[in-house]
Amino acid sequence: MSYYDYWYPPKKPPKQVSGGIKTQSKRGRFATNWWSKLWVENFEARTDSGRLTRARSYARSGQTQDLEIAPGLVKASVQGTAGKPYQITVTMTLYSTEQIEAIYQELGSQPMIVAQLLNNNLPEEFDELLKNLNLFLIPKYNKDMHVSCNCLDWGDPCKHSAAILYLIAEEIDKNPFLLLKMLGIDKDSLLERLKLTGIKAKPAVQTAEVLEPLSADPQDFWGKACERRIDPLDPPQFPAAIIRRLGAIPFWRSDSDFIELMQKTYSNAGSKLIYLLMQDK
């Protein structure tokens, strides 16, 4: 019997997962911003197009059961064709305490970068700042970042690991502070240090409220029934401002955009409240 006479079983589709974590992207790219594009390029060059195609399918169909992200470590489980889900681990080199302090010191003289970071944006100049400190923003694959999976696929990354990396790409695309968290920079600590630079938002101009003088006549003061007064109400100019500041829930399990959904919910609730108050008037 020749080599070509051997029969190989057909590939089976992965077992479906109920309530799995999946990307919001249905087709096309997972990354739109420059930093998330670099993240994707970092691992896509390591494996073949066939594995990447299957990895995208896994990421979009919700084959991921669990995904935990901590500084320097990502743990996940992805359901494939086997009975039990595969276990994926991603480790990354963390910035040292001295390196993080050096970043803070450099940011103190970079007001444009600080302003954009305070607006939840990651400017390309921040990447240049890191390079000047001999640091990286995207950990280099198989040097500063190592990926492992307990499946039998020899690909590096395999389709299960690549699916997790695609999920992370889409999440950091919306929330660049998650990328910094994986490198060891805490968002709250970073924002507190940025505030020390003295860069602040321009305060809104407030006008003093003109108060009606109280009557000196006791009868007028105590004798009349209190009239309820409701000034004209306007909906907030920026609904869900706190939600937008905090950012989306990591790996939001819905086809709807979390921020847009919360803005709509807050706007509807505010309009309903105004209607009820005016009816009660």
pLDDT digits (tens, 9 = 90+) for 5-62: 444 445 677 888 888 898 888 888 888 999 999 999 999 988 888 899 999 999 999 9
The pLDDT, as a whole number, for residue 236 is 67
Q: Which residues contact 257 (CB under 8 A, 6 or more apart)?
A: 24, 248
Which of 175, 195, 215 corresponds to the end of one domain? 195
Q: Are residues 181 and 232 in the same domain?
A: no
Q: Are residues 158 and 264 in the same domain?
A: no
Q: Are residues 125 and 252 in the same domain?
A: no
Q: Are residues 234 and 125 in the same domain?
A: no
The pLDDT, as a whole number, for residue 179 is 93
The pLDDT, as a whole number, for residue 82 is 85
Q: Are residues 150 and 249 in the same domain?
A: no
Q: Are residues 107 and 149 in the same domain?
A: yes
The pLDDT, as a whole number, for residue 5 is 46
Which of 148, 172, 195 corresponds to the end of one domain? 195
Q: Is residue 204 part of a domain?
A: no
The pLDDT, as a whole number, for residue 201 is 44
Q: What's phi and psi for 277, nearest 5 deg?
A: -65, -40
Q: Are residues 117 and 163 in the same domain?
A: yes
Cis omega (within 30 of 0) on the bond before 157? yes
Q: Are residues 43 and 159 in the same domain?
A: yes
Q: Are residues 20 and 93 in the same domain?
A: yes
Q: Are residues 162 and 240 in the same domain?
A: no
Low-confidence ranges of the chain (pLDDT < 70): 1-11, 198-238, 241, 243-255, 274-275, 277-281
Q: Which two tokens stand for residue 156?
A: 């590096």
The pLDDT, as a whole number, for residue 102 is 94
Q: Is residue 215 part of a domain?
A: no
Q: Where are the alpha helices (DSSP H) in the chain?
A: 34-44, 49-61, 97-107, 111-118, 124-132, 159-174, 176-182, 187-195, 218, 241-246, 258-280
Put simply, whether the predicted model's pTM sits higher than 0.75 gets the answer no
The pLDDT, as a whole number, for residue 6 is 45
User: What residues make up the domain containing 14?
Assistant: 10-195
> Maximum Cα–Cα distance for the chain, whole Å?
115
The pLDDT, as a whole number, for residue 211 is 59
